[in-house]
Amino acid sequence: MEKELQQKLFDTCPLFYRFRTEQERYCDQHNMLELGVLCGDGWYQLLLDVSVKVESIIRDMKQSGYEDNSLPVALWVKEKYGELLFDTDNSTVEIDRLVGLAETESAYTCAVCGKPGTMRDRGWLSCLCRRCSL
Number of domains in the chain: 1
Average pLDDT, the chain: 90
Average confidence (pLDDT) over 30-37: 70
> What one-letter code names the amino acid at 132?
C
pLDDT of 27 higher than 50: no
Helix, strand, coil % over all residues of the chain, rounded to 5: 40, 20, 40
Q: For 111, which DSSP code? A: T
pLDDT of 25 higher than 80: no
| Domain housing 100 | 3-109
Residue 26 lies in a domain: yes
Residue 32 lies in a domain: yes
β-bridge mates for residue 79, sequence order: 84
pLDDT of 22 higher than 90: no
pLDDT of 26 higher than 80: no
Average confidence (pLDDT) over 25-51: 80
**Would you place residue 20 in the very low, low, confident or very high pLDDT band (cuts 50, 70, 90)?**
low
